[in-house]
Amino acid sequence: MRRAGAFIRWAGISLAALASACTLLPEQKTVDIYRLPSAQAAASQGQAQAWSLRIRSPHADATLDSARIAVIVQGDQISTYGGARWTDAPPALLRARLAQAFRLDGRVASVSTTDSNVRADLELDSDLRAFQSEYRGSVPYAVVSLDVRLISTSTRRVVASRSFEMAQPADGVEVPAVVSAFGLASDALAAQVVRWAVEQGAAAQSGKPE
């Protein structure tokens, strides 16, 4: 009986200690997930051209290939907004934005991404150099920078290349305002890429033997 009583007391103390330890664990923080907003409107820019385009996900370093929202407050140190994430890594977000922009433009007969096995005449390959918020004085800017190459899928030759960059000031320092700025910057950059790629693609295909 004494042993049984001692065991019960020991068990009670252990459970009380465990319950106390559980209350000391840090509370789980809520993470806000943000989509990349878009204000693009459906507006075809002309007759579809008889060539097709495949869009690859931009190449990016480990810092940018993450769902965390990057920010540079000063110098070269890259941080992230705590408790905030993108729905996907920036390369995937930007690929989707580019594909959407080409389809809304309507001048490329067929637009696909590397998620599908659709054959294409040209391929849009790129390097994502920046997709972060940068403080310029007291104002955060959404900066999106992309080095783009238009490649012939039959010869693997680069037919044209160009660098694009957009910097959009945010209306405030809060994360939702910064996210809105990213949407505007991405829309503007995608529009520039579409205009350039359509011109270069048409020129490349016009000189292609039948």
Domain covering 31-206 assigned CATH 3.40.50.10610 in the classification: yes
CB atoms within 10 A of CB 68: 17
- pLDDT class of 43 with cuts at 50, 70, 90: low
* Single pTM value for the model: 0.83
Q: Is 73 strand, coil or helix?
A: coil
pLDDT tens-place string over residues 101-129: 999 999 998 999 988 878 999 999 999 99
Pairwise CA distance, residues 80 & 97, whole Å: 22
pLDDT (mean) for 134-153: 97
pLDDT tens-place string over residues 160-201: 999 999 999 999 999 999 999 999 999 999 999 999 999 999
**What are the structure tokens assigned to 24, written together?**
């000391």
- Residue 71's nearest CA partner among 186, 182, 185 is 182
